[in-house]
Amino acid sequence: MARRTIDQLLSEGQRFTPLQKLLSQASDRDAWTRELRAVLPDPLCRNFSVAAMRGTALVVQCNNAASATRLRFLAPDVISSLNALSHFQHIDSLQLKVAEGTSIVNHR
Query: Which pLDDT score, from 0 to 100, does residue 1 have?
Result: 44
43 cis-preceded (ω within 30 degrees of 0): yes
Walk me through the domains of the chain, giving residue ranges and CATH numbers: 17-106 (3.30.300.180)
pLDDT digits (tens, 9 = 90+) for 73-82: 999 999 999 9
CA distance 48 to 43: 11
Query: Which of 40-44, 76-80, 86-90 is modeled with the greatest confidence?
Result: 76-80
Q: Are 73 and 103 in contact (CB under 8 A)?
A: no
Ranges of H-type helices in 1-108:
6-10, 18-38, 65-83
| Coil, helix or strand at residue 53 | strand
For range 29-36, the mean pLDDT: 92
Share of the chain above pLDDT 90, in %: 58
CA distance 21 to 27: 10
Q: What is the mean pLDDT of the chain?
A: 84
